[in-house]
Amino acid sequence: MSYLLRRLWQMVPTLAGVVLGVFFLFKGFGGDPAEILAGLNASPEQVEQIRDQLGLNRPVWEQLAIFVGQILQFDWGRSWATNEPVAQLFATRLPATLTVMTPILVLDALLAIPFALAVAAVRGSLTDRAIMVVTTVALSISFLVYVIVGQWLFAFQLGWFPVQGWTDSVWTNLTTYAPLPVLLAVMVGISPQMRLYRSFFLDEIGQDYVRTARAKGLGERAVLMKHVLRNALIPILTNVSMQLPGIFVGSFLIEVFFSIPGIGREVMLAVNRSDYPVIQAVTIYLAVITMVINLLTDLLYKAVDPRVTLK
């Protein structure tokens, strides 16, 4: 509990640094929001009126206080492009992102971990070398190629999935529209994950405790499952935790190519439109999620390996 309280307290200055960084970066390098909103044909009087409405003529410290107050109240204002409340925009786009990204992360882990362990167990064999060659080739292919070929093969030629589409029904989305982007994303992601996890397992297989377990007559399956896998879980957890924030932000390419109305697509549109309230909200939102996930991962280390000491 003391460790948890200390970590929560440490998040405060970290988040404060993120808030200050976001505020002054947009203030110094983001251009004049009033001119962006007014458009190219606006008169100076119209630009000045918008600047007054946004509070840009107030002192910097007062603008910062308003920005911090909005964060504390979870009130990010309205999107400049659609006039939709940013909080409502996130709430309506998040389900689509979770529908696609959660299966991708789960399938990546469930497929990559056992395959990597099986390949590590036969290190140096023909099977190992063949799989490493295949994964290297797969890593060399652009994600865009996977998308184009996947849409052509699975949607146009075989007719298994629709190319694009989305509905308000979670079940319809999961069974009809999400499978193709999920399949392609897993095909892209499994190769690097498998190579990485294989290296983790090989590091553990070379340890003295593994040789001792084998010398005592323990079966190879028991050695791999009870010793190698368990001791390799910490770096695996670290890698998975680095991917977890992506569940809540989405994949820009997947959502744009498949017209999925998720947060990733919305962020891409916000960047193209210079929609600063949305971009600022996403930045703060992602920072908070990342800090929370890092804290939960550190606590999981202790559950996975009792030798870990939380200080």
pLDDT tens for 208-248 read 888 888 887 777 788 888 888 888 888 888 888 888 777 76
pLDDT digits (tens, 9 = 90+) for 34-86: 776 766 677 777 777 777 777 777 777 887 888 888 888 887 778 877 778 88
pLDDT of residue 40: 67
pLDDT of residue 31: 65
Output the furthest CA–CA distance in the chain (Å, rounded).
85
Indicate if the pLDDT at residue 13 is higher than 70: yes
What DSSP state is assigned to residue 2? H
Residue that is written with structure tokens 């006039």 in the block: 83
Half-sphere exposure (Cβ direction) of 202: Cα atoms closer than 13 Å: 13
Burial profile 256-274: b = 16 or more Cβ within 10 angstroms, e = fewer: bbbebebbbbbbeebeeee
pLDDT of residue 22: 83
Look at 304 and 152; give whichever has higher pLDDT. 152
Residues 6+ apart with CB under 8 A from 259: 164, 165, 166, 265
Integer CA distances (angstroms), 166 to 1, 172, 179, in order: 44, 8, 12
Please tell me the pTM assigned to this model: 0.79
Q: Are 264 and 252 in contact (CB under 8 A)?
A: yes
pLDDT digits (tens, 9 = 90+) for 98-111: 888 888 888 988 99
pLDDT digits (tens, 9 = 90+) for 172-206: 888 888 888 999 888 888 888 898 988 888 888 87
pLDDT of residue 164: 81
What token pair was written down for 291?
Answer: 């800090």
Integer CA distances (angstroms), 282 to 201, 253, 271, in order: 36, 17, 11
Integer CA distances (angstroms), 272 to 26, 105, 276, in order: 15, 28, 10
pLDDT of residue 130: 92
pLDDT of residue 212: 84
pLDDT of residue 213: 80
Instruction: Give the DSSP H/E element, type plus range, for residue 238.
Output: helix 229-243
pLDDT digits (tens, 9 = 90+) for 247-290: 766 677 788 888 888 888 888 888 877 778 888 888 888 888 88
pLDDT of residue 30: 63
Of 114-118, 172-176, 246-250, 299-303, minimum mean pLDDT range: 246-250
| Closest-CA residue to 199 (of 119, 87, 138) | 119
Q: How far apart are CA 265 and CA 123, in angstroms?
A: 41
Q: How far apart are CA 61 and CA 165, in angstroms?
A: 46
Residues 6+ apart with CB under 8 A from 289: 244, 245, 248
| Closest-CA residue to 86 (of 270, 247, 298) | 270
Residue that is written with structure tokens 């404060």 in the block: 16
